[in-house]
Amino acid sequence: MAEQAQFDLVIIGSGPGGYVAAVRATQLGLKTAVVEKASRLGGVCLNVGCIPSKALLDASEYYHLARERFAEYGIKTGKVSLDLKAMLSRKDKVVADLTENVRKLLEGNGIEVVHGTASVPAAGTVEVDTGKKKTTTLSTQNILLATGSEPIEVKGLEFDGRHIVSSTEALDFDAVPGHLGIVGGGYIGLELGSVWNRLGSTVTVVEMLPKIATTLDGQVGRTLDRILKKQGLAFKLNTRVVEARVVRNKVKALLESGGSTETMTFDRLLVSVGRRPLVRGLGIEELGIETDPGTGQILVDETYRTSVDGIYAIGDLIPGPMLAHKASAEGTAAVECMAGRAGEVNYDTIPAVVYTWPEVASVGLTEEQMREREIPYCVGSFPFSGAGRARCMGETDGFVKLIAHGKTDRILGVHIIGPRAADMIAECVLALEFGASSEDISRTIHGHPTFAEALQEAAMNVRKCSIYTS
């Protein structure tokens, strides 16, 4: 049985890219529908990614503070215990509330939501399997693919959903693992490792490369490594997990490093080596949509149009960092282009955040990239140990690092490791967007006492540095 409907735009996927694009499209006068295969809206980010992980990070940080730090502030609590079920229930409520908000947002903007599995048999047509042998056909002028990504599964480390798991299952363990192994030292692994370490797990991170969080500025990455080790995380670098198998409810993993091997036993093994575009079943190969042969990402032009007219793609499906806020910006830009407006995204000013504690946030070029590009530069830095607000909170680990062009003083990169870094980076993104100089930041009055004063101090120090060239 088939039903037909006509739209200006059909968006496949209701994550941060899809739902933001839908609202902007209706503002521009486009009759819009959103197709979502899951029962709840919000995509990976709201349901099994950004939001639930941050809810657990905050909850586990409170638990850690209550157990380890309250006494130094003069707070006596008695014995502190963990109610994991309650913690997970709160996380689920946060997710449910936000996904419901997305539903209301789309409904309030007159956007039709169709639940089911979508495929694109041809440009201008979206078929939705809504279950019970019922298919809905949506006719449309434009199609926006915004289906996001999924965890990469590694041969020999296949997910079983209980012992060898992806990030999705690692958000819902029914008990704190005695020993949690993590394959991959990227953002996701470090964040989830932090959660379970605070709640009582022994955590071992196995990374093939010689350092963790490889995209970070080198100085920041080394500092993060040191701080996480101090918190109790263990790292095995230059090490590969060859295979893993479940034996008597434990995971036995074979590790290889420098030609030698060893076996480690874990209660759970989180495989977090990256994500890949989720395009299964869409029919992009049959349509002839061009993709990158190495990554599988869909190639688009400056308007986010694929190689097939009338079909666009954004977010994790296309090249660039797999970040929710990148997808949202691209969703807005893509529909503006469809509507004949000048939509674009400045990829040089997309912030990245690692929600460990302390947090790490960055925007722009790293010091290593400055050297590779042979750009003359100056660096100014300031430790949080010198900031009054950080002292008051007892959060003095980390620093702010600001990189400016050696001749023009224009800010080209900012890297922060410390408390509230995720919020502080917004000022830095704005500075890059407006082409600000370090002097602009240094002469901007910052409230006292605040964490942001450390940024102002770092900017002041830029002007004292010598000019480095490669």
Are residues 74 and 28 located together in one domain of the fold? yes
CA–CA distance from 365 to each of 338, 376, 453 (Å)? Answer: 31, 13, 22
Exactly one of 115, 179, 405, 448 is catalytic; name it.
Answer: 448
Is 448 part of the annotated catalytic residue set? yes
| CATH assignment at residue 327 | 3.50.50.60
Residues 93 and 133 in one domain: yes
The domain boundary, picked from 289, 322, 345, lies at: 345
355 assigned to a ligand binding site: no
Mean pLDDT, the chain, rounded, equals 96
pLDDT at 468: 37
Last residue of a domain, one of 214, 249, 273: 273
Residue 266, beta-bridge partner list: 251
Shared domain check, 337 and 388:
no
pLDDT digits (tens, 9 = 90+) for 266-323: 999 999 999 999 999 999 999 999 999 999 999 999 999 999 999 999 999 999 999 9
CATH number at residue 402: 3.30.390.30
Please tell me whether residues 212 and 110 are part of one structural domain.
no
Whole-number percent of the chain with pLDDT over 90: 96
Q: Say if 367 falls within a structural domain.
A: yes
Mark which of 243, 273, 303 sits at the end of a domain.
Answer: 273
Domain that holds residue 134: 2-151+276-345
Pairwise CA distance, residues 44 & 298, whole Å? 19
146 φ, ψ (degrees, to nearest 5): -145, 50
The DSSP bridge pattern shows strands 134-145 and 311-313 to be parallel
> Do 168 and 86 reside in the same domain of the chain?
no
Q: Do 22 and 91 share a domain, yes or no?
A: yes
Same domain assignment for residues 72 and 85: yes
Q: Does the annotation list 324 as a binding residue?
A: yes
> Which residues contact residue 372 at a Cβ distance below 8 angstroms, ignoring those fewer than 6 apart?
470
Sheet holding 399-405, edge to edge: 352-354, 359-364, 411-418, 399-405, 377-383
The answer to the question of whether 191 is labelled as a binding residue is yes
The separation between the first and the last C-alpha atoms of the chain, rounded to the nearest angstrom, is 67
The per-residue pLDDT for 322 is 97
Determine whether the annotation assigns residue 190 to a binding site. yes
Note whether residue 158 is domain-resident: no
pLDDT band at 3 (very low <50, low <70, confident <90, very high): low
Q: Are strands 2-12 and 134-145 parallel, antiparallel or unpaired?
A: parallel
Number of domains the chain is built from: 3
288 and 146 within one domain:
yes
Asked if 238 and 224 sit in the same domain, the reply is yes
Phi, psi angle pair for 279, to nearest 5°: -125, 5
What are the pLDDT digits (tens) for 72-124? 999 999 999 999 999 999 999 999 999 999 999 999 999 999 999 999 999 99
Element (H, E) at 390: helix 388-393
Do 58 and 114 belong together in one domain? yes
Virtual CA dihedral for 401, 406, 407, 411, nearest 10 degrees?
Answer: -20
3-state secondary structure of 99: helix
Who contacts 381 (Cβ-Cβ below 8 Å, separation ≥6)? 399, 400, 401, 402, 458, 461
